[in-house]
Structure 1
Amino acid sequence: MKTPLKRWLLSYAVAAVIFAVVDVVWIGTVANNQYESQIGELLAPSVNLAGAVVFYLIYVVGIVHYGVRPNDPDATLRQRVTGAALFGFFTYATWALTALAVLKDFPAVVALTDIAWGVAVCSAVTWLTATLLRRMFRRAGTSK
């Protein structure tokens, strides 16, 4: 396997683990309570696990592509995090503002919270992933 592909797949694996852990903590400590109190009548009785897994698999591709950018050695950490923040903003805003526009009585506070979370989680995952990988590559003696 060629080095750029290895680097990308390693970045994906690291970002996926970080994203899953951080998002599960968020969902368990903040999102579930807010969703239950604000949009409980819209929630399914149980999570569609297949839908959730597919979301995570696809969404991490975006974080790696727009944020981590493992094969762009000239990108600064600031550029990576900014790219991730924008990715999080646009993707979460798409969902939240569409829900606000088309769902009856969808609360603006939920939309705003989701958008802020998208920015925060994508930025944090990118920062952690890029920082960990930079350290790993330095130890291994490879470039950025």
Structure 2
Amino acid sequence: MDKKRVIRLIQHIDFWGIREWAKENDLDWIVVYGSQVYGDPKDDSDLDIGFAGPIKGITVPGHLISEMEADEHHMDEVNAGVRYGMSKGLLIYQRQEGLFKEFIEMAKKEFSVYKKKIKQELEEDLEEGYIIIQDV
């Protein structure tokens, strides 16, 4: 069974050069958790389903994944993202440790600190192999 490594991100991939980093680490998919799933008008990036080039993405609101602020409307959006992945023959796994709240707290601090924390978490996830997309 072919397994593809996946990285969990919180918003604004291009600002941090994550696409290039993902390519260097031979990642096939990026799962983006963040506000882009809502179509934030202040954000004109293409962080929605279907990245350009070999790196593809699925957006899912991270606060739902960590079971914060879950309500019926948002749950519909999460389910839609998961259904999209399944329709492409993919099954999405992710950690359930409520890290999104921690990231939000970090965002209130200096941006460089927030960026460093994100990078650290991504590297740990890669090393520990917690996050994959697996063909079903």
- TM over 0.5, yes or no? no
Structure number having the greater helix percentage: 1
- Provide TM-score, normalisation by structure 1: 0.28
Which structure is larger by alpha-carbon Rg, 1 or 2?
Answer: 1
- Provide TM-score, normalisation by structure 2: 0.29
